[in-house]
Amino acid sequence: MRRPAAPRVPSVVRRRRLLICVTASAALVVPLLTGPLGGVAADRRLQDVFIDAADEYHVPRNVLMGVAYLQSRWDSHPGAPSVVGGYGPMHLVDAKAARPQSVRPGAMAAGPQSSPEANAPGGRTVQPADLQRAARLIGVTEEQLRTDAAANVRAGAALLAETQRQLGKPLSDDTDDWWEAVARFPGTEDKVSAATYANDVFAVIRTGAHRTTDAGQKVTLAASPRVRPHRAAAPRAQKDVECPPELNCSWLSAPYVEFDDGAGYGNHDLADRPRDQKIEYIVIHDTEAYLPNMFATVQDPTEASWHYSIRSKDGQITQHIRTKDMAWHSGSQFVNARSIGIEHEGFLTHPNTWYTEQMYQSSARLVRYLAKKYSIPLDRQHIFGHDNVPSPTADSIPDMHDDPGPYWDWRHYFDLLGAPLRATGPQQSDMVTVLPDFATHKPRFTGCAGDGVPCAPHGSSAVRLYTEPSEKSALIQDPGRRPEGDDSTEDVNDLGSRVSAGQTFAVADRSGDWTAIWFQGEKAWFKNPKKHPTAVGASGRMVTPREGLSEIPVFGRALPEEDAYPEGMEEPDESPLPYELLAGQRYVTQSRLDGSYVDRSYFVESPNPVVKGHEEYFEIQFGHRLAYVRASDVDVVDAPAAAGPPGQADPAPGQ
């Protein structure tokens, strides 16, 4: 659950009530399954399963594989159902297995006039591909479709063929003849969403894709460049919604009102962005609560707020606050003033259930739209997680959030953004970009099903850091996150000793299969073997303490100089972060900015002025989180790009 920026933190009582709500919701979630998948036999490739099923039911192979890719990216998710009870590569839905949804007692729920379903043509959403009907079609048990990937794919092919016949169309070899059957596969009555889904499938068919699945199966869909998307139905215009034209987004307003007889107000601030403050960040959250609970929260003036919510089961987008206004979503007023916050329904310890492909697709489409509208660079210092938000003050570090967590697939997300993460410098560059292969990189984590309980092995964007080039050495410690001196752990919520895909760091040392980076003032080592690299060469700019300075301060926000504040306004405390940035250390920067501050402390009918200074800062990748240093304190050092092709090939479409 999100927390407002520091000046607007709810009372202790309200925070306790919010925590109880999230804890109760999380208790309903089934842990990651640890049992083996009864899927494709070791001697039978999933690639062959798709070929055989397509031939058996006279469905074009690229259509069957394209649908399965959009349903699951060909993953089986070890027999675990999604939030709507979807199983296997074809995401066949067993409604009995759907997760319960809840709204906390006494909370305001989204009414029928404001719910996403109410804004869709037909006023409701039907069930997607039905597991029970599919079992009857191919004559197998429902349990087989839940646990046997081959049976699941066969059933998906049978459903596509049945839909094609119901449409009165032949079971032809022409991919274009199947567009309408594909549009009907997810089961939505919203014509815009159905058309967007079908066009996404056809885009995958046109460009092709290949990847290693969660079961270790290598699957390839060859490109069909002649296939083209169809014209989508135009969505109905909705008040205030800022959304890509190919999506049918909804509006559910967050309140801007006074309460407690004028003693407080909520739950966001009026602004006039980008005229009064440039929008330069998009923050990716997960809800750690069910979406109905979040809809109740965002309508409560005593709680936090964010700009958009995205539903897990189908990627439905709901907007709550205009992007020109400032939401309370990140835990940092400085970041709030410069960012747009997007909540994704889910729990970071249960990615198989919640982080669906349709949610990734919708989110990336929204972020592309917003990034273009506000000229936001598509890199990991501008598009980042709640877990990467810089702590605004030293004492706020332990309270900062850790979503969307190590199982959010940043590499795939940036592929969808059209800005793939890749090598940009030579292999032995002075900079590296963290880039593990998500499907096969499975570091150990605990805490998904209880303190200390090992999580099931799962693909991850996270790479763990050590004090020496050995997995037997101690983990890197974070003195700000654990001021009492406690050790970093492997807990899924512990960010103290890890970095994430797409983050770029300065190289501090190398030793065999190990690479060291500068990380929060220390030399931090991670395993980076040549055959299975977890990082690639990068180019760009780094900053280092200016000659003659032995140490410089690091900040969690870029504030204006003292003279910039108008008379009568209290200047906020700079509060340098409790880390050392010493002479000789280097940190990667992708942004230079002027200091600014917005005094959001009372209810007003028009935006408060933005205090803008002339003091310049560099934003740096300092640790797992971002940070800022004064431009006057540093020198800039370049790491050149490779003269020839980068040291690692670019990921293929859909990788």
Q: Residue 383 above 60 pLDDT?
A: yes
Residue 537: inside a domain: no
Q: pLDDT at residue 3 above 50?
A: no
DSSP state of 612: E
For 115, the domain range is: 46-221
**End position of a domain, from candidates 221, 244, 276:** 221
C-beta separation of 616 from 579 below 8 A: no
Q: Which residue has the higher pLDDT, 101 or 170?
A: 170
Question: Residue 197's pLDDT is what?
Answer: 93
- Range of lowest pLDDT (76-80, 136-140, 322-326, 346-350): 76-80
Which residues make Cβ contacts (< 8 Å) with residue 113, sequence separation at least 6?
Answer: none
| CATH code (residue 140) | 1.10.530
pLDDT at 188: 83
Q: What is the pLDDT of residues 223-269, one digit of tens each?
A: 999 998 887 666 665 667 999 988 989 999 999 999 988 788 999 99
Q: Tell me, what's the pLDDT at 425?
A: 96
d(C-alpha 622, C-alpha 617), whole Å: 14
Please, what sign has the CA dihedral across residues 516, 519, 524, 529? negative
Q: What's the number of domains the chain is made of?
A: 2
Final residue belonging to a domain, choices 221, 236, 252: 221
User: What is the identity of the amino acid at 32?
Assistant: L
Q: How confident is the model at residue 100, as a pLDDT?
A: 64
Residue 606 lies in a domain: yes
SS3 506: strand
pLDDT bucket at 499, cuts 50 / 70 / 90 = very high
What pLDDT was estimated at residue 443? Answer: 97
- The Cβ of residue 385 has, within 10 Å, a number of other Cβ atoms equal to 23
298: its two tokens: 């965002």
> Token pair of 38, please?
């009864």
Given this model, what pLDDT does residue 137 score? 95
Q: What is the mean pLDDT of residues 306-310?
A: 98
Does residue 282 fall inside a structural domain?
A: no
Query: With contact defined as beta carbons under 8 Å apart, do 538 and 552 qualify?
Result: no
pLDDT above 50 for 378: yes
Pairwise CA distance, residues 321 & 242, whole Å:
10
Does residue 57 lie within any of the structural domains? yes
Percent of the chain scoring above 70 in pLDDT: 85
Looking at residue 189, what is its pLDDT?
77
Predicted pLDDT of residue 237: 57
Tens-place pLDDT, residues 391-409 = 999 999 999 999 999 999 9
Q: pTM (2 decimals)?
A: 0.89
For 73-124, the pLDDT digits (tens) are: 999 987 789 988 999 999 999 988 877 665 544 444 443 333 334 333 333 4
**577, 243 Cβ separation under 8 angstroms:** no
Q: What is the pLDDT of residue 75?
A: 93
- Pick 312 or 10 by higher pLDDT: 312
Asked if the structure places residue 478 within a domain, the reply is: no
β partners of residue 336: none
Please report which confidence band the pLDDT of residue 283 belongs to, taking 50, 70 and 90 as the band edges.
very high
Query: Whole-angstrom Cα distance, residue 83 to residue 459?
Result: 19
Pairing of strands 514-519, 522-527: antiparallel
Residues of the chain above pLDDT 90, percent: 75
Indicate if the pLDDT at residue 601 is higher than 80. Answer: no
**Residue range 480-492, pLDDT digits in tens:** 988 777 899 999 9
Report yes or no on 165 lying in a domain: yes
Mean pLDDT of all residues in 430-455: 96
Q: DSSP labels for 53-95? A: HHHHHT--HHHHHHHHHHHHTT--GGG---TT-EETTTTEE-G
| pLDDT for 418 | 97
> For residue 643, what pLDDT band results from cuts at 50, 70 and 90?
low
Task: Give domain status of residue 615, yes or no.
Answer: yes
Cβ atoms of 353 and 83 within 8 Å: the answer is: yes
Q: How far is CA 370 from CA 207, 381, 421, 626, in A?
A: 24, 16, 19, 21
pLDDT tens, position by position, 349-369: 999 999 999 999 999 999 999
Residue 54 belongs to a domain = yes
Residues 6 or more apart whose Cβ sits within 8 Å of residue 27: none
User: Which of these three, 221, 239, 273, is where a domain ends?
Assistant: 221
CA distances, 563 to each of 48, 555, 558, 614 (Å): 70, 19, 15, 10
The average confidence (pLDDT) of the chain is 87
Q: Dihedral angle at the C-alpha atoms of 128, 131, 133, 138, nearest 10 degrees?
A: 130
How many other C-beta atoms are found inside a 10 Å radius of the C-beta of residue 126? 12
pLDDT band for 39, please (50, 70, 90 cuts). low
Helix (H) or strand (E) holding 187: none
